[in-house]
Structure 1
Amino acid sequence: MHSIDTQLFRKTFGALSTGVTVITTLDAQAERFGVTANSFTSVSLDPPLVLWSQSSTSRSHAAFRDSDRFVIHILADDQSPISDRFARSGGDKFVGLDIEDGIEGLPIIRGCAAYLECRKIAAYPGGDHVIFLGHVEHLVRHDREPLVYKNGQYLPTAGAPALSQAAA
């Protein structure tokens, strides 16, 4: 088996345009956690299933691992600052955000293009990540353009400003 250069692997996937999501949850003490992820996709229409993955070394990993629920926010094209905020480690990422309570009090970030409230039904090891499978129990779709990411940059969409650089 050939060894793959991790930087080249990352750059190769950077050639693929993706939507940008923020996933949120609550831990057992009702503390809010969130993370930016572009590893999100639908799995099944019947039942409605989605998946996303998270690094097993992420500071918020224990909260997602131990929680039975999560919310996937498909960010709108003007929400790159929210993407950047949740991509960084540490601090209270929810300070100053317009939040509402979803199912069982999970934090929902207002202004997104869409959000899906999910019950976690499985978690699978995937190398240095864990793959979470969720059953969509409620969703909302707004008439907003999604935030798109490619080659380390946010891409402009209809009526959006020029490119901006994402946080590392």
Structure 2
Amino acid sequence: MSCNKYEDHILIFPEDEANSKIALGFVLCSYVREDKVQILPYTKGWKKVIEKFKSYHIPQLKKYISRRLLLLIDFDNDLNRLSKVKSEVPEDLMDRVFILGTKTEPEKLKQAINPIRSFENIGKKLADECVDLENGGLWEHELIIINKHERKRLIEEVRPFLFDVI
């Protein structure tokens, strides 16, 4: 499903298939407004995410001021990757671009929490926990706690239009 470019919405740009499945689970959560979010086709590798971000998504973000973009990448145990990726975001777009990911890779998260749980179910669980910023739950797991600041920033930005909750 695509979003109305002129209304508040968010695009999710995953690095790989596992991240794409997590995003799908997030979107399938019962109180996420599907008309306000779109999962883009994944690439293979965080560097390709950055290349496409710079060549295509930066101009699109400048054109459509109601658009937000979530880059969903693996940090591959590189503690500097978040700052490397953020350095590619123009200052005037910083408040509409978000970067989330696992400390290593999604497969390790799946294995650590429950190897039987699907990536989609992980995404649903993460969505359930997004409406309550005080209750970290799965977001407090050692492989994704690195997202704490970025998650808070993202949820504060998208909560008004993305979630159907009281």
TM-score w.r.t. structure 2 length? 0.24
Q: Rg larger in 1 or in 2?
A: 1
Task: Determine which structure has greater relative contact order: mean sequence separation of CA pairs < 8 Å that are 6+ residues apart, divided by chain length.
Answer: 2
Whose helix proportion is higher, 1 or 2?
2
